[in-house]
Structure 1
Amino acid sequence: MILNRLISLKSFIFLTVCLFAIVACGGDTSGTTAPTVSTEPAAEQPKAEAPVVETAKAEPVVESSAVSVTKYQDFGFSLEMESGAMANTMAGSTDNAGTATFNYGGVNAMLNWVPGTNFDAVGAVKGLFTAVQNSNTSASFTTVGGGELRVGFESGEYIAYTADGSGGGLIGAWTCLDTDTAFTLFVSGQDSTNVQLRFKRLIDQFDCDGSADTAGTDASVSN
């Protein structure tokens, strides 16, 4: 979804530049009439210099600069990190959909949110796990857990895995019913024990609507 949005934005910028160039060149040249020929010698006219047209430059779509945060709460939900984290928010993220990445306590975390309509938590977890496997075909992946995930008052699904030479990871997905927003959290690192600890702490400190009503409610996973 993020890739599609980036492609669409780049296409829009390209079309805008093309349209600007067409207008600058005068547009349609059809329908001109022949000029009247005079027998009188014409005075020499100064040559008109062609205007210099500056074409618009397409700006690349990039992530915003990393910032240090202890509570991430820019898009309607909140996520607390007691020791702080370096956070990157993908350009174009809104309350409706977006992606943020965190370097947190020795692990890498990615949080994605999309509209909750027709969201399938099981499918989201399996799809992301398949993508992780495809990104590192030289490693051998082993699932070590999975099942129901509780995030505050909401329920979802998770999967835990290990990978030769690259530690392990956890992937969880759930929907916040009150805001109709679905989330997918991916945490990975070299130390599988630390990955599990950080994943649980992030889930424990996640709140669907950014208030203090549910943040800190103990999360749980079950096989």
Structure 2
Amino acid sequence: MELKDSLNLVKERIARAAAKSGRRWSDITLVAVSKTVDSDTVRRAFELGVSDFGENRVQELNKKISLLPEARWHLIGRLQSNKVKDVVGKAVLIHSLDRWSLAEELDRRGQREGVEVPCLLQVNIAGEEQKAGVDPNEVRNFLESMGQLKAVRLHGLMTMAPLSDQGERARPIFKELLEIKEKMVKHRYINVDMRYLSMGMSQDYEVAIEEGANLVRIGSAIFHPD
């Protein structure tokens, strides 16, 4: 399948899923995951209208930023503290804030460089040991602590469901994150807004959107369709 065709198919499915939850295609932010994609293909996707791309590794992120600086680049993989200096001020959104010590390190770097550091709080809804993220019961305390920071801004929540070829299996995970978000928006936390609910990848993004996601990270369905 040609890139244009696979991208159009993904957009159509996003639009249908959004309609089921009373929204439009334009309400959903598509982040095309380009971690295994060469720069020429990424540029073609950009020319086809994709504005946001996601990378797992900081080194690859910076390489592609240098090749396509006009795009919006997201860091979606786990961030080690010693790599903070290489991502602050470059990624438009860090999706993987998964521990308080990382928030503090990002804040120190952001203050040093005089920039805000936009992040999503990663929540480990599924409780998988191999996945990063704060425990659902720790979300409130984390948000309450955000007022201690000066540069980090939290723009929502992110989670990943267990890998499955059946997106429907992920629905309970997505429902739970939505419930957490709805509880949190009832309170005013300093340096926090809940504009993004990031959940859903190639195998389950339609279910995620139906359950309230407004940011999805899609790679293989765009770049490597069956």
Structure number with greater Rg is: 1
Judging by fraction of residues, say which structure has more helix: 2
TM-score normalised by structure 1 residue count:
0.29
Higher relative contact order (CA 8 A, sep 6+): 2
TM-score normalised by structure 2 residue count:
0.29
